Amino acid sequence: MEWYRPKSLEELTKLLSEDGALIHSGGTAIKEDRIKSASRVIDMSGLPLGYVKKEGNTWHVGATATLRDVIDVLGKEECFNPLVQALKCTATTPLRNRITVGGSVYLSPLWSNFMGPLLAMDAKLDVAGKLNGTYAYEEFLSNKAKFQGCVVTEVSFQADASTCFFFDRFARTANDYSALTVTLGLSIKDEVVDEAKIVVTGCKKVYDRLHAVEAGLKGKSLKAVDPERIFGDVEIEFADKPAGSGAYLAEVAKVLLARGFGALACVR
Amino acid sequence: MEMKALFKINKKAYELEFAPNAKLLDVLRDNGFTEVKCGCREGFCGACCVLLDGRLVNSCMIYAASVGEKEITTVRGIGNTLEPHPIQEAFVEAGAVQCGFCTPGMVLATYALLQDNPNPTEEEIKQALDGNFCRCTGYVKIIDAVKLAAKKVR
């Protein structure tokens, strides 16, 4: 087995053109068996992708930036509080110092709390490999098999002060994996909802974007909406988990959504 | 087939041999750095914590081959029995050490916290030590020790 440490994206792309390479970024999600059976490991740590920077209205986060890097930089930006909150309750301090954004986005594991905020912010991914290009995160998640053998090199999203976000999660204890997360983003113009983005993760479909509720909120004043009613009819299916039965988690999700909507209405 | 690489550990360079799938924890312990404790091997307990370029990480979750030129600091690198670091003194004075197995990780977590934030609140201490488990003390004495260490370091 050989470890490769490319120094440029060109070098990375060339290495990816050969089949059978295992991609290593932070490495925390790679089991020893996978490393043992790999003939080639491509270690991303030599690439200049550890940045978290703003260009115009868009934030760019390199794939090898750690969760800690993102918290440190975006923690100073008010509009990213939900994303930072999501990352702060992901894993533990020593793991957040090692887990990379690229690896988390590519694998989108259960503990990756920031799937909801990234979907609600319409995040885009830069991908290297056979499908070289920029893709919506939602498209990536819906077609993960298609991106096999590719590497996420950057995550980007926009900050818009007119959009308020809410994030919350449900877990048995503070250090436990989230059983589910809810993220709401509301853009308000002239006192009415211009755009709503509502995402639930941890459900049977991995994530659920509540498009019907989003459409129903458009053009409405927040004061005219009863959160208990708009989320009361929502059907989200959850599998039974250690944190509770599927039916219980569905009820918890509705409560968190209603609570989030209430919180955003108060902020406005 | 074994790999060979240069590691910077506690400000000294070592050329070490290791298997391509070896974890940093095992490479350190196999080469005499037994102050790095092996607990859960799953990144939960924090007994194996070291500093990598000054940041607290679980050495059981890191492949040795991926460390590259980063500086590794174990608890012995910040102080020893003859010349203890104020944080190590604080842990003894506050009675925060019982079996001692989690202590290297706790001390390094405290070191990393105080480097960034010399005057942490209790909540910030709890957040910084959220990846370090103690099965003896119940954490009260440990949090006291971190507060005392913060005073000493300031």
User: pLDDT tens digits for A189-220?
Assistant: 888 999 999 999 999 999 999 999 999 999 99
Residue A259 domain-assigned (yes or no): yes
* Judgement on whether residues A170 and A261 belong to the same structural domain of the protein: yes
Question: Domain holding A233: CATH number?
Answer: 3.30.390.50
Please indicate, yes or no, if residue A225 is contained in any of the structural domains: yes
Residue A116 lies in a domain: yes
Total number of domains in chain A = 2
Output the pLDDT for position A268: 61
Question: Using an 8 Å Cβ cutoff, are B4 and B16 in contact?
Answer: yes
The parent domain of residue A177 ranges over: 163-267
Q: Which of A208, A204, A155, A158 is nearest to A184 (CA)?
A: A208
What is the mean pLDDT for each group of 10 consecutive residues in chain A (268 residues)? 92 89 94 89 96 94 97 84 87 96 88 89 94 96 92 91 89 88 92 93 94 94 88 93 96 96 83
pLDDT (0 to 100) of residue A111? 74
CB B27 within 8 A of CB B64: yes
Q: What is the ipTM of this complex?
A: 0.96
What is the CATH superfamily name and number for domain B86-153? [2Fe-2S]-binding domain (1.10.150.120)
* pTM score, whole prediction: 0.93
Q: Tokens 């955003």: give the residue.
A: A264
Residues A129 and A218 in one domain: no
Contacts of B129 in chain A (CB under 8 A): 93
CATH topology of domain B3-77: Ubiquitin-like (UB roll) (3.10.20)
Q: Which of B4, B41, B61 to mutate to test the interface with A (most CBs of A within 10 A)?
A: B61
Nearest in space to B78 (alpha carbons), one of B99, B58, B54: B54
pLDDT in tens, A46-80: 999 999 999 998 999 999 999 999 999 998 887 77
The pLDDT score that the predictor gives to residue B154 is 87
Contacts for B73 with CB less than 8 Å, ≥ 6 apart: B9, B10, B50, B51, B54, B108
**Are A27 and B56 within 8 A, CB to CB?**
no
Chain B residues 80-119 with CB within 8 Å of chain A: 109
End-to-end CA distance of chain B: 48
Is residue A41 a part of any domain in this protein? no
Q: Between B48 and A38, whose confidence is greater? A: B48
